[in-house]
Amino acid sequence: MKSYDYTLLFPLDDAYRGYDIQKGTTILGNVWAIGRDPRYYEDPEMFNPDRYIDPGVPRAPVFGWGRRKCPGIHFAETSIFITAALLLSVFTFSKRRDNSGEEIIPIIEPETNALVLELKPFDFEFKSRSDAHYQLILSAISD
């Protein structure tokens, strides 16, 4: 997730909440702060993608907003959807198991850098859903 977004040069002199804003000032939308507003996002520092199932929870504006939002938004979202759908259609993903066969519950925590929120690596297992799926994967790789 982006931490900031260059949105516009302010079109006129103005004042906002006691701040003087001169014409031509670059205004940065603070996506990081917007996505952590506890009025909209309960426990905002907790990694919880399920929070977005509720239609009352606004989507964080990771692609910006208004006329200057990222023109690649539809390409990016469609590419991610297709990739996820293809992976889920041929693989089964599951938690790793220890030597006694018990599931290992991964510790999923965020890792930040200057631009995006990432997840720290965690172990999991995946396998093809069937022999037919395995053959489909092999044929796609060999093409």
Q: Are residues 29 and 76 in the same domain?
A: no
Q: Are residues 75 and 21 in the same domain?
A: no
Q: Are residues 130 and 99 in the same domain?
A: yes
pTM higher than 0.75, yes or no? no
Instruction: Name 127's bridge partners.
Output: 92
Handedness of CA 29, 33, 39, 40 (dihedral sign): positive
Q: Are residues 38 and 64 in the same domain?
A: yes
pLDDT in tens, 27-83: 877 888 888 888 888 888 887 888 889 898 888 788 888 877 889 999 999 999 999
- Domain of residue 114: give its range: 71-143
CA-nearest of 31, 55, 35, 39 to 47 is 35
pLDDT in tens, 123-138: 899 999 999 999 999 9
Q: Are residues 75 and 111 in the same domain?
A: yes
Q: Are residues 81 and 143 in the same domain?
A: yes
Question: Angle at Cα 47 formed by Cα 42 and Cα 48, nearest 5°?
Answer: 60
58 is in an annotated binding site: no
Strands (E) across 25-143 are located at 26-29, 91-94, 110-112, 117-119, 125-128
Quote the pLDDT of residue 85. 96
How many folded domains does the chain comprise? Answer: 2
Q: Are residues 98 and 122 in the same domain?
A: yes
